[in-house]
Amino acid sequence: MLTAATIANFKTSLRGQAIEPLDQGYDEARALYNAMIDKRPRVIARCADVADVINAVNLGRDANLLIAIRGGGHNGPGLGSCDDGLVIDLSAMKGVRVDPASQTVRAGPGCTQGDVDHACHAFGLAVPAGIVSTTGLAGLTLGGGTGYLTRKYGLTIDNLIEADVVLADGRFVTASSSKNEDLFWALRGGGGNFGVVTSFVFRAHPASIVLAGPTMWEIKYARQIMQWYRDFLPKAPLELCTFLGLKTVPSTEPFPKDIWGKKIVALISCYNGSAEDGQKAMQPIRDELPDPILNWVGPMPFPAIQSMFDPLLPKGLQWYWKGAYVKDLPDRAIDVHLQYAMEAPSELSLMHLYPIDGAVHRVGKHDTPWNCRDGNWSMVIAAIAPDPAKSAQLKRWGRAYWEAVNPFTTGGGYVNFMMDDEGDTRIKATYGDNFERLVAVKRKYDPNNLFRVNQNIKP
């Protein structure tokens, strides 16, 4: 039972803030990145430190409250919040410490991608993670983490060295390859199922000025470019990450007005190395493909490509997305993609194929819960628009597209590209033969499923 006295005691115990429905700032505090999701928690505990997290977990467990854990609040189905329960909001726990000597980075659970990129860039380093700077690092990491450095250095979880965790019983533990190894294994892809992570330590890699940016062609070239891309990518040097997108040119600056609203196929590239080597690696794009309608590839600091698309994707849009892992891109799959690309319900709606080959394949299938160590792409179909009236149409298109292309995927998909309508079968397919081991770790560390607002692994 959550009595007034319990809440009052909790508030006094916190170094951070407890925000309730009648408090000023409640609506702002509960708002999620995806405006399609509208949740009204009973209390939001904006934690300042680990002591606050321990207090919050103890409160939630003892008062029998539903608990959601919130890092960056970017989760598609809004799993960083819940109705009528307790949100453990970590957004204020943002510290980043880069150790240039050991090339390691300790980051707080409230860090965004941009916070970590910013701190690392001063040292010519980067942690392999996502491609939009406003995304929360915590949720991204616990699901896997793909981005421009993936082909060369692996997933974000492949670069995780250690994590501090507050468990369901309120205990604080450290997980690494030598401490609580089972928990460390499960954290690397198993999502927020096992406890509240209060600190991450990552391996960082050299990344400073990269050759990067988008190249766009009219959609009439999409078939040719997709066929070309499926052969080009596996042979490309691992320093080059080029992902493919079927999209529409946004009708806004800085895009040239004469191409606003045009359906396009895009290759978005980032070469992490010298400009000269990068030009060489991307030469086939210039030599072997038709003339693009836009080419913005150029040298830039790594954090610049990481935040290049932020302005197009502010908080507060409607999002419905679906993901899947893809090994091959046969012509019949391309037909499906082209059909749905032409029917996209809004300018922002898209399909992206993110490379997960190279270093991802060098990690064993059972070394982490991320089971797709032989796929070539993590696909996302994202239906996005500012207008809430469009939400039903976005869902219809996203679902229909995903169902149509599903026969050409592995059956599983990245947990961070799932909505909350996927069901247990999809989660099992995603983890494959790692699923039972995840269940065993869940039984050990969270037997009562206190942490269940996530892509849930039931104990």
Ligand X SMILES: Cc1cc2nc3c(=O)[nH]c(=O)nc-3n(C[C@H](O)[C@H](O)[C@H](O)COP(=O)(O)OP(=O)(O)OC[C@H]3O[C@@H](n4cnc5c(N)ncnc54)[C@H](O)[C@@H]3O)c2cc1C
- Which residues are at the interface with ligand X (CB under 6 A)? 33, 69-76, 79-80, 90, 109, 130-132, 135-136, 138-140, 142-147, 191-192, 196-197, 313, 416, 453-454
For ligand X, which is the closer residue by CB, 2 or 418? 418
Task: Give the CA distances from residue 87 to residues 35, 40, 239, in Å, rounded to whole numbers and listed in that order.
Answer: 17, 10, 39
Degrees, nearest 5: CA angle 410-221-376: 25
For ligand X, which is the closer residue by CB, 88 or 265? 88
Q: Closest Cα partner for 427 from 354, 364, 371?
A: 371
- Say how far apart CA 416 and CA 419 lie, in whole Å: 8
Shortest approach of ligand X to residue 200 CB, angstroms? 8
Shortest approach of ligand X to residue 261 CB, angstroms? 21
Query: Coil, strand or helix: which one is 374?
Result: coil
For ligand X, which is the closer residue by CB, 131 or 210? 131
For ligand X, which is the closer residue by CB, 289 or 384? 384
CB 217 within 8 A of CB 171: no
Residue 450, token pair as written in the block: 């206190």
Shortest approach of ligand X to residue 365 CB, angstroms? 19
Question: What are the φ/ψ torsions at residue 399 (nearest 5 degrees)?
Answer: -65, -45
Q: Closest Cα partner for 374 from 270, 271, 242, 234?
A: 234
Shortest approach of ligand X to residue 31 CB, angstroms? 12
For ligand X, which is the closer residue by CB, 147 or 303? 147
For ligand X, which is the closer residue by CB, 146 or 289? 146
The residue written with tokens 């977990």 in the block is 57
Shortest approach of ligand X to residue 35 CB, angstroms? 12
Shortest approach of ligand X to residue 286 CB, angstroms? 26
DSSP assignment of 44-95, as one string? EEE-SSHHHHHHHHHHHHHTT--EEEESSS--TT-TT--SSSEEEE-TT---
- Say how far apart CA 140 and CA 74 lie, in whole Å: 9
- Say how far apart CA 117 and CA 334 lie, in whole Å: 35
For ligand X, which is the closer residue by CB, 334 or 351? 351
Shortest approach of ligand X to residue 420 CB, angstroms? 10
